[in-house]
Amino acid sequence: MRFWDTSAVVPLLVDEPETARVKRLAQEDQAIAVWWTTRTECASAIARLRREAKIDAADEKRTKRLLQQLAAAWTEIAPGKRLRDRAERLVSVHPLRAADAFQLAAALVWARGKTTGRGLVSFDDRLREAAAREGFDVLPADERS
């Protein structure tokens, strides 16, 4: 199982430049853990794409169904005091926005603080950097290196 940030889940739902890469990762390990807000963040991304006419009504409906199926199968990390405390620590030691700190805090709760050998899938540069500094294996591997 890997922890997936919303930036990596959305390309599983709609065709984006990163879609092939995340589909390969999902095929390697189909068990997905996410933060509590991920489904809403994905719904927001789908609605934005529809408003911007990047997807049509049929694509929106299909994508929402796919999101529901994916959400029914993933493990969701719920909010709580322990997670909030971790997020507050993270914003003090990494240049993260609050939403990204909650994503990373959820990943830390999911990993029970043992990040070695644990994968975190994201395309957000700040989150990737902070996750790597916290000890996660950040995926997909940076092809720019």
CATH superfamily of 2-139: 5'-nuclease (3.40.50.1010)
In the predicted structure, residue 145 carries a pLDDT above the cut 50: no
pLDDT of residue 11: 97
d(CA 121, CA 50) in angstroms, rounded, equals 25
Give, for 65, the enclosing helix (H) or strand (E): helix 57-73
pLDDT of residue 143: 57
pLDDT of residue 142: 75
Once rounded to an integer, what is the mean pLDDT over residues 85-98? 98
pLDDT of residue 130: 98
Higher pLDDT, 144 or 81: 81
- What are the residues facing 77 on neighbouring strands? 35
In the predicted structure, residue 144 carries a pLDDT above the cut 50: no
* pLDDT, tens digit, 9 for 90 and up, residues 13-45: 999 999 999 999 999 999 999 999 999 999 999
pLDDT of residue 31: 96
Q: At 51, is the secondary structure helix, strand, or coil?
A: helix
Once rounded to an integer, what is the mean pLDDT over residues 49-71? 97
Q: Listing from the earlier edge strand, what are the strands of the sheet with 2-4?
A: 75-77, 32-35, 2-4, 119-121, 137-139
Among 31, 39, 121, 130, residue whose Cα is nearest residue 86:
130
